[in-house]
């Protein structure tokens, strides 16, 4: 049967299920850069350049392997601008009797694909994406009947199922989780290795020129460009992390240093989420580093937990709860996203640093996203729709399946505690503990109230006071509410006064 096989931009794996059973004589692989996907939110310039370049390199690899590939570039004059438009055009021109595609990672694209069979009048087979370690069905079965579906318990099941860092039925080292050993304060004397940098070849340069021309009004800097755009380069990035960063990754996983955006993190989510790397090969590489004595257990377990635990967990929640999950707004937050999320023009140095680095790199590590950018959005009551859109736009590893649960569930607690056991809210002391941002800030992190006080300090208590009816029964916040109740009336009035003044300034 003559088959048209569609490969999407985040399915750049030679083992992708849509290629199984491919007939190199009669079948065609279709790949297309479409304006609908580049513009459905105004993605970071570097994100678009990364994916288009990786797609073009992947298509060339398939051709070298003997596949017939039809690759539609964004500026091709016949490009219809949508996945369906391109599938329809090629199905009609090639008289294909069947369309095969691996299940898209985003709900809206899957819904679109599910309508194609009726529209095209030919068979459309949507195959499972077996690059993940847990299917949506597996996750749903695990979650069924549970009052709480916490990541920690899912993670343990995954470790056992895939025999990862296990000694028989018990975890290596005697503990499942070494998170308590992953919170070392940053040391200004740290020697942080340079991040992986690829060279810009002619394909990438063509894409950079295209993006600079067609997406000039999108957020972010396209240069300098350093992402891996081939599987070989992605494997080199993995190797570099294992050899040079993994050892200290665990200790300084939560640390932030001004001018050091990359720290000891892996920066592999770009490649995992588009398919250039597979999760298990990353897990096994880290695991082997531990067994070889080249990395400590707290680093290896922490890295593995991000992939086997958190990444698989948020995907499970996404498919379990969509589409209703997208509308969650537990705190009824309505404030508009401040302009400085785009300009970095704020006196709060931590926010300015994180937005600037996001603009430059299409990257910020998880604590910057959660405890600086996200914490501020939570405390100031920014509309989850706007926060989700921002996070989806600005990061090169962001797809809705991973972004939405992280933002709605983890950052904003907008699902009311379905994902997280408490809101990840904090005052300035946390940021001061885990970074050196406060040293060069216009505000004084030690000051609790007044115009020179760190806004995080009074916004934190104001957030708790304003949402007492929704949070006071949360056992993890009991001590915080007791501390709030011990405050004098004058102190509470000062908190509310300072908060209202600051929030009014955001408008």
pLDDT tens digit string along 158-178? 999 999 999 999 999 999 998
The CATH number of the domain covering residues in 340-506: 1.10.579.10
State pLDDT tens for residues 54-86: 999 999 999 999 999 999 999 999 999 999 999
Q: Which helix (H) or strand (E) holds 28?
A: strand 28-32
- Say what the pLDDT of residue 418 is: 94
Residue 335 DSSP class: B
State pLDDT tens for residues 392-413: 999 999 999 999 999 999 999 9
Going from N- to C-terminal start, the domains of the chain cover 3-127, 136-193+245-321, 340-506
Phi, psi dihedrals of residue 29, rounded to the nearest 5°: -95, 130
Beta bridge partners of residue 102, listed in sequence order: 127
- CATH homologous superfamily for the domain 3-127: HUPs (3.40.50.620)
Residue 25 DSSP class: T
State pLDDT tens for residues 175-216: 999 888 777 888 767 899 999 999 999 999 999 999 999 999
- Say what the pLDDT of residue 272 is: 98
CA–CA distances in Å: residue 80 to residues 30, 87, 131, 139, 158 = 14, 10, 29, 37, 42
Identify the residue with better confidence: 91 or 101.
Answer: 101
Contact 207, 456 (CB under 8 A): no
Residue 332 DSSP class: -
Question: Does residue 498 surpass a pLDDT of 70?
Answer: yes
* HSE-CB of 163 using CA atoms within 13 angstroms: 3
- Say what the pLDDT of residue 188 is: 66
Average pLDDT value over all residues in the chain: 96
Question: Does residue 466 surpass a pLDDT of 90?
Answer: yes
Structure tokens at 98: 């069947």
Question: Does residue 36 surpass a pLDDT of 70?
Answer: yes
d(CA 401, CA 485): 40
Q: What angle do CA 346, 267, 52 make, to 5 degrees?
A: 90
Q: What is the pTM of this model?
A: 0.96
d(CA 446, CA 453): 7
Q: Which helix (H) or strand (E) holds 19?
A: none
Closest CA to 267 of 372, 402, 410, 397: 397
Tell me if residue 171 falls in helix, strand or coil: strand
Question: Does residue 308 surpass a pLDDT of 80?
Answer: yes
Question: Does residue 270 surpass a pLDDT of 90?
Answer: yes
CATH class of 136-193+245-321: mainly alpha
CA–CA distances in Å: residue 467 to residues 413, 464, 504 = 12, 5, 19
Query: Could you tell me whether strands 98-102 and 123-127 are parallel, antiparallel, or unpaired per DSSP bridges?
Result: parallel
Contact 300, 253 (CB under 8 A): no
CA–CA distances in Å: residue 93 to residues 33, 116, 430 = 19, 16, 60
Residue 453 DSSP class: B
Contact 403, 392 (CB under 8 A): yes
Contact 245, 266 (CB under 8 A): yes
**What residue has token string 């590939």?**
69
What percentage of the chain carries pLDDT values higher than 70? 100
Phi, psi dihedrals of residue 297, rounded to the nearest 5°: -65, -40
Dihedral angle computed from the Cα positions of residues 231, 49, 115 and 139, in that order, rounded to the nearest 10 degrees? 50
- Say what the pLDDT of residue 190 is: 85
- Say what the pLDDT of residue 396 is: 98
Closest CA to 307 of 331, 349, 334, 279: 279
State pLDDT tens for residues 467-491: 999 999 999 999 999 999 999 999 9
């Amino acid at each position: 049967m003559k088959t048209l096989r569609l490969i999407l931009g985040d399915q750049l794996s030679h083992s992708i299920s849509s290629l199984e059973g491919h007939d190199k004589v009669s079948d065609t692989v279709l790949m297309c850069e479409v304006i609908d996907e580049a513009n459905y939110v105004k993605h970071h310039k570097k994100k678009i350049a990364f994916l288009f370049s990786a797609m073009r390199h992947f298509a060339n690899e398939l051709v070298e392997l003997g596949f017939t590939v039809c690759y539609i570039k964004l500026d091709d004059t016949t490009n219809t601008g949508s996945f369906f438009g391109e599938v329809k055009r090629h199905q009609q021109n090639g008289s294909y009797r069947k369309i095969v595609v691996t299940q898209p990672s985003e709900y809206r694209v899957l819904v679109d694909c599910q309508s194609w069979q009726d529209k095209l009048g030919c068979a459309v087979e949507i195959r499972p994406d077996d690059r993940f370690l847990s299917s949506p069905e597996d996750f749903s079965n695990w979650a069924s009947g549970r009052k709480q579906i916490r990541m920690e318990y899912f993670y343990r099941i995954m470790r056992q199922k895939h025999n990862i860092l296990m000694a028989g039925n018990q975890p290596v080292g005697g503990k499942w989780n070494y998170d308590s050993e992953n919170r070392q304060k940053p040391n200004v004397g740290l020697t942080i290795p340079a991040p992986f940098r690829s060279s810009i070849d002619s394909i990438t340069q063509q894409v950079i020129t295209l993006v600079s021309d067609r997406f000039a009004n999108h957020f972010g800097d396209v240069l300098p460009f350093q992402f891996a755009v081939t599987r070989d380069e992605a494997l080199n990035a993995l190797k570099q992390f294992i050899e040079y960063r993994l050892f200290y990754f665990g200790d300084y996983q939560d640390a932030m240093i001004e001018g050091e955006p990359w720290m000891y993190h892996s920066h592999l989510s770009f490649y995992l989420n588009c398919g250039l790397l597979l999760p298990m090969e990353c897990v096994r590489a880290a695991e082997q580093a531990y067994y070889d004595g080249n990395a400590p257990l707290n680093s290896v377990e922490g890295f593995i937990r991000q992939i086997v635990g958190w990444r698989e967990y948020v995907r499970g929640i996404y498919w379990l709860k969509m589409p209703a999950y997208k509308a969650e707004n537990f705190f009824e937050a309505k404030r508009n996203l401040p302009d400085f999320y785009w300009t970095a023009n704020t006196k709060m140095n931590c926010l300015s640093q994180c937005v600037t680095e996001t603009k430059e790199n299409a990257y910020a590590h998880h604590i910057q996203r959660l405890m600086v950018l996200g914490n501020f959005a939570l405390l100031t009551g920014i509309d989850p729709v706007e926060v989700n859109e921002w996070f989806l736009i600005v990061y090169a590893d962001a797809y809705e399946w991973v972004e939405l649960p992280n933002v709605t569930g983890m950052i904003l607690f907008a699902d009311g505690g379905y994902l997280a056991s408490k809101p990840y809210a904090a005052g300035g002391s946390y940021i001061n503990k885990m970074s050196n941002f406060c040293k060069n800030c216009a505000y004084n992190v030690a000051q609790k109230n007044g115009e020179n006080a760190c806004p995080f300090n009074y916004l934190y208590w104001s957030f708790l006071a304003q949402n007492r009816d929704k949070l006071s029964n949360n056992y993890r916040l009991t001590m915080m509410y007791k501390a709030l109740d011990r405050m004098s009336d004058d102190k509470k009035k000062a908190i509310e006064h300072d908060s209202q003044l600051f929030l009014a300034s955001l408008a």
